[in-house]
């Protein structure tokens, strides 16, 4: 469920998350159930999926499918419907059944966790309404029905601006809780970014907003490593380039779950700053941005650093001689200056998540034990 930025599309199987068209604050837990007939009449799009789920409005567009706000005609509940389309001659080898099975399996494994979007239903869509005279059969379509939560963090920040430290702390804790759960199950998300994190409400002031991770289409079972000898490599490139960890940008296919905690650090910075920390158009440019902010010392300490081709621009430029200047981007509380405020405790979490050396990067479990989250 990618956000609407072309620099973030690095995989073929990711489908956009609910974006600007969403109505903030709507969720299945708070929205009143509307009569099925009335809901279906509200500018419905196309035929009901298997007679039950009526698509009302498109809220996301992707290469292989779309996401809709819909209604369950049986219960009247508002739902999110992700529709995947397959093509027999797809040049990228997109397999509809495999993609559906992989995402459903990940959602099933995460069922019940409050910070991961919940699966309601899934299946293959039958086009029963086709005219007998139709000569061209539409491409096969699969669907995944999930709870409808609300806007993405990308939408919330774009519309309402950056978050203060208190709200960022509450949201980051929920995000880490969902990530930790996935990692304990042996799953990497591999595509964490603001567009794949939804909030029920904007999440400011009261701290009562519910945050949920969505789009598990690129999730990978880490336990698969032990099923082959040698272990099968992971995909690369994967996910959003501006939220990709340095080891992914350098081409590693032997990364681990700490690529997700790097992304959590980037999302935390995005909430505080109101803009992407490492915004650029290519892998090489993102690496240059990372080195410009965090320096070279940490990444060169990684045991596998020299296994990869390092862009000459990083070695020859003056950037490697610069130290880490992440702290300079955030002001201590009550010091003014217009920079986003972040306490020393909060900065310890941020800098721990944004370690270029994955061997020294905080895990989700370690981050949640930090004193910054005490009292939540």
| Residues 142/86, Cβ–Cβ less than 8 Å | yes
* Structural domain count of the chain: 2
The per-residue pLDDT for 26 is: 30
**Looking at 131, 147, 163, which one is the last position of a domain?**
147
CA pair distance 349, 266, nearest whole angstrom: 12
Average pLDDT over residues 118-147: 74
Whether residues 186 and 216 fall in one domain: yes
**Looking at 96, 120, 147, which one is the last position of a domain?**
147
Name which of 27-41, 256-270, 362-376 the model is least confident about: 27-41
Name which of 15-29, 31-45, 83-97 the model is least confident about: 15-29
| Residues 140/96, Cβ–Cβ less than 8 Å | yes
**Looking at 86, 113, 147, which one is the last position of a domain?**
147
- Grade residue 16 by pLDDT with cuts at 50, 70 and 90: very low
Residue 360 covered by a domain? yes
Average pLDDT over residues 325-331: 94
Whether residues 22 and 53 fall in one domain: yes
Q: Which residues are annotated as part of the binding site for ATP? A: 82
The per-residue pLDDT for 309 is: 66
Q: In what helix (H) or strand (E) does residue 142 lie, and over which residues does it extend? A: strand 141-147
Average pLDDT over residues 103-132: 85
Whether residues 224 and 104 fall in one domain: no
The per-residue pLDDT for 124 is: 84
- Grade residue 34 by pLDDT with cuts at 50, 70 and 90: very low
CATH of the domain at 291: 1.10.510.10
CA pair distance 320, 339, nearest whole angstrom: 25
Whether residues 179 and 107 fall in one domain: no
Active site residues: 191
Residue 1 covered by a domain? no
The per-residue pLDDT for 220 is: 92
Average pLDDT over residues 97-111: 92
pLDDT digits 0-9 by tens, 274-326: 999 999 999 999 999 999 999 888 877 787 776 666 666 666 654 445 689 99
What is the percent of the chain where pLDDT is above 70? 72
Name the DSSP letter for residue 39.
H
What is the domain extent for residue 136?
6-147
Whether residues 94 and 198 fall in one domain: no
Task: Report the b/e string of 227-239 with b at 16+ CB within 10 A.
Answer: eeeeeeebebebb
Whether residues 97 and 178 fall in one domain: no
Whether residues 73 and 157 fall in one domain: no
Mean of per-residue pLDDT scores for the chain: 81
Average pLDDT over residues 337-358: 95
Whether residues 67 and 177 fall in one domain: no
Average pLDDT over residues 167-195: 97
The per-residue pLDDT for 246 is: 94
Predicted confidence (pLDDT) at residue 198 exceeds the cutoff of 90: yes
What is the percent of the chain where pLDDT is above 90? 52
The per-residue pLDDT for 141 is: 82
Q: Which residues are annotated as part of the binding site? A: 82
CA pair distance 238, 4, nearest whole angstrom: 17
CA pair distance 154, 196, nearest whole angstrom: 8
- Grade residue 127 by pLDDT with cuts at 50, 70 and 90: low
The per-residue pLDDT for 97 is: 82
Residue 288's Cα: distance from chain center in Å?
23
**251 in the Ramachandran plot: left (φ > 0), alpha (ψ -120 to 50) or beta?**
left
Whether residues 209 and 80 fall in one domain: no
Whether residues 27 and 140 fall in one domain: yes
CATH of the domain at 49: 3.30.200.20
The per-residue pLDDT for 301 is: 76
The per-residue pLDDT for 65 is: 75
- Grade residue 184 by pLDDT with cuts at 50, 70 and 90: very high
**Which residues fall within 8 angstroms of residue 119, CB to CB, at 6 or more apart?**
104, 107, 108, 111, 144, 145, 146
- Grade residue 344 by pLDDT with cuts at 50, 70 and 90: very high
Whether residues 135 and 210 fall in one domain: no
Whether residues 157 and 300 fall in one domain: yes
The per-residue pLDDT for 88 is: 52
């Amino acid at each position: 469920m990618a956000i609407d930025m072309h620099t973030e599309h690095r995989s073929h199987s990711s489908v956009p998350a609910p974006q600007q068209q969403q109505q903030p604050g709507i969720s299945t837990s708070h929205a009143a159930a509307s009569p099925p007939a009335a809901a279906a009449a509200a500018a419905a799009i196309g035929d009901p999926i298997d007679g039950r789920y009526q698509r009302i409005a498109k809220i996301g567009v992707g290469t292989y499918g779309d996401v809709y706000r819909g209604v369950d005609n049986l219960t009247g509940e508002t739902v999110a419907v992700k529709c995947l389309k397959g093509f027999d001659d797809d040049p990228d080898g997109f397999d509809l059944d495999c993609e559906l099975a992989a995402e459903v399996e990940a959602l099933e494994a995460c069922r019940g966790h409050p910070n991961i979007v919940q699966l309601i239903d899934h299946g293959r869509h039958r086009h029963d309404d086709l005219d007998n005279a139709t000569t061209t059969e539409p491409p096969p379509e699969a669907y995944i029905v999930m709870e409808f939560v609300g806007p993405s963090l990308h939408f919330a920040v774009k519309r309402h601006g950056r978050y203060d430290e208190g709200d960022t702390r509450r949201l980051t804790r929920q995000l880490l809780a969902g990530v930790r759960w996935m990692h304990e199950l042996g799953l990497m998300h591999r595509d964490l970014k603001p567009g794949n994190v939804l909030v029920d409400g904007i999440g400011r002031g009261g701290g009562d907003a519910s945050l949920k991770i969505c789009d598990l289409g690129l999730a990978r079972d880490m336990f698969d490593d032990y099923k082959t000898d040698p272990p099968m490599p992971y995909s690369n490139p994967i996910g959003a380039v501006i939220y990709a960890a340095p080891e992914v940008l350098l081409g590693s296919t032997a990364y681990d779950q700490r690529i997700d905690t790097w992304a959590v650090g980037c999302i935390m910075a995005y909430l505080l700053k109101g803009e992407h920390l490492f915004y650029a158009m290519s892998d090489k440019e993102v690496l240059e941005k990372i080195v410009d902010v965090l320096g070279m010392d940490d990444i060169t300490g990684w045991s596998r650093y020299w296994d990869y081709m390092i862009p000459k621009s990083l070695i020859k430029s003056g950037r490697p001689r610069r130290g880490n200047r992440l702290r300079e981007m955030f002001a201590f509380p009550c010091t003014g200056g217009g920079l986003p405020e972040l306490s020393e405790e909060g900065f310890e979490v941020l800098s721990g998540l944004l370690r270029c050396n994955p061997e020294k990067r905080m895990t989700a479990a370690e981050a949640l034990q930090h004193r910054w989250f005490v009292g939540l």
